Every structure is written in structure tokens, then in C-alpha cells.
Amino acid sequence: MPIRIYDKTSAGRRFSSVNLNTEVTKFEPEKSLTRPLPKTGGRNHHGKITSRGRGGGAKRLYRVIDFRRADRDGIEGTVVAVEYDPNRTAHIALVEYADKVKRYILAPVGLSVGAKIIATSRTAADPKVGNSMPLKYIPTGLSVHCVELRPNGGGQMCRSAGMYARLTNREGNYATLVLPSGEVRMVHVECRATIGEVGNADQQNVRWGKAGRMRHLGRRPITRGVAKSHNAHPLGGGSGRSKGNRPPCSPTGVLAKGGDTRNKKKHSTKMILRRRVSTRYGQKTK
């Protein structure tokens, strides 16, 4: 059982559970593939807080993940180990190629130690778990992850634990993907994707149980806006916890539930065939 529930020996244990990470086979990272990860406390280079509720947490080393796999074209690799990565929900696989080069990739479901994988760009490879190739070579109906948004730009979509997109159709220079959120969008057929689903899907079933475990992750407490003074938050002040007849928002007034956050200058919407189903002030929108 990947998720373990302990006896209720304390208040913190009563509502907590632990992921046993049974797929992990190696407990120390590959030193050549690690980098320092300094903490920012949610502050930018000016020292101004741009991400609230961040600070503290356990010290971590960053594992360099190969999201592109472009310079490994045609070189067969062998999975040496599956490791835990404190920087993401998914597990990572250490791959050693035929030329003795080692790289980290996201570990999909069913990828075990000793498995052979390959990445190609000009020819089709065997569509088995862990192989990476452009969408034009992947059979329709398969599940893919670590999908590129632009050719040779590195995988950006479907990278967290348990995520995958379904390749449903190809027409001309574009393939149609159904994303985990329900969004249906087109992606250029030259964009790479990896066969399979991202592993460690049981991560979503973990119950943290106490505030201390969130502090270990670098998450600090968040004070409700209505509990603050009127000069500290738009929802603060007043006699009692009144919201002032305005929707939930951040201290700077940015809408917190259902507000538009997509930057129209940076993100193209013409590739989206159907938007994800979400709720905005109690009403479903598409």
C-alpha cells in the first residue's frame, strides 16, 4: 500500500498519512546532476515579496531534469534507478545512455530499473513507455506527458504526478490533445512528447495532517483578508468580518477566484479548441 496511515498517537498523526514511495530504488541523488537551490522567501531581486506565504522549509538540492532530450536522439538509454525528487510531486528516473552520459527524466508509470528507452526526432520509435518522439510519430489514442508547447522548447505540459494528456487526432500540422483539466488544444506535430503517464499518482491522496509538515515544504501561514485592517487588505477593516460587497482578492486587488490571469500578449488562445470547465462565482464557464 503506497499510502500509509499510522496509529492516532497524537493530534498531528490523527489526520496525516505518508507516501511510502515504494517505487524508489536509490536514495542519494547523482552528484553531477544536482545544483544549489537558494531560498528567496518569495522575494524578487528588489527584496519585495511577490509570492506570499513562502519561507523556511527544508534545504534541498535541485535535480537537473532533461525535459528536451534533443541531444540524445537515437542513443538508447537504460534506466539505472528511480529516485525521489523533493522539488516536484513526480518521481524521477536516472538514465544512463550508451555513451555513459547520465540524465534525469520524469518517471512514468511502468518504467522500472533495467528498461531500455530512446528519444528520436526524425524517425518513429517503438511506442512504449518512456520513449520520446514528435507527436506526428505517436499513434493516436495513447497517453503522453511532458509535452512541448513549441518545437524543441522542452516539455511544459503534464509534468506533475499522475498527469497525462490524450492524443486524439492529427490534422495537417497540428495534433489535438485532451489535457487533464478538460481543455482541448492543438499542438504542432513537431513538438515532442513522452509515452505514458507520470508516476506517483498516489501523491494526491497524502493528507498532511499538521501545519508543521507544510512548514517543512516552505509554506508559511496565510492570514485571511477579512481579518486584517483596512489599510493592509481590500477586504479588511469594518465592524466584524465584512467583505464590503466585493469578490475575494489579493492584498493588491487581484481577483482570487475566477478572475482572468492569462496574459494575452504572451499566450495565444487560437490553439485552444475547448477551454477547461471552471466555476466563477458559482456559475460554470467554458
pTM above 0.85, yes or no: yes
The CATH architecture to which 3-202 belongs is Beta Barrel (2.40)
What is the per-residue pLDDT across 45-59, written as a single tens digit (0 to 9) for each?
A: 999 999 999 999 999
| CA-based nearest residue to 63, from 99, 44, 90 | 90
Q: Are 130 and 115 in contact (CB under 8 A)?
A: yes
Cell numbers for 216, please give them: 517543512
**Residue 281 pLDDT > 50:** no
Q: What's the CA gap between 79 and 130, in Å, rounded?
A: 10
* Mean pLDDT confidence for 186-194: 96
* Mean pLDDT confidence for 86-91: 96
Q: What's the CA gap between 177 and 164, in Å, rounded?
A: 10
Residue 49 Cα to chain centre, angstroms = 23
Q: Are 177 and 167 in contact (CB under 8 A)?
A: yes
Domain ranges of the chain: 3-202
Q: What angle do CA 264, 270, 275 make, to 5 degrees?
A: 85
List alpha helices for the chain, DSSP H: 11-14, 211-216
Q: What's the CA gap between 226 and 233, in Å, rounded?
A: 8
DSSP, collapsed to helix, strand or coil, labels residue 283 as: strand
| pLDDT of 283 | 46
What is the per-residue pLDDT across 139-177, written as a single tens digit (0 to 9) for each?
A: 999 999 999 999 999 999 999 999 999 999 999 999 999
CA distance to 75, 140, 146, 175, 176, per residue, from 166 (Å): 26, 8, 12, 10, 8
**Residue 280 pLDDT > 90:** no
Cell numbers for 133, please give them: 518522439
Q: What's the CA gap between 107 and 23, in Å, rounded?
A: 10
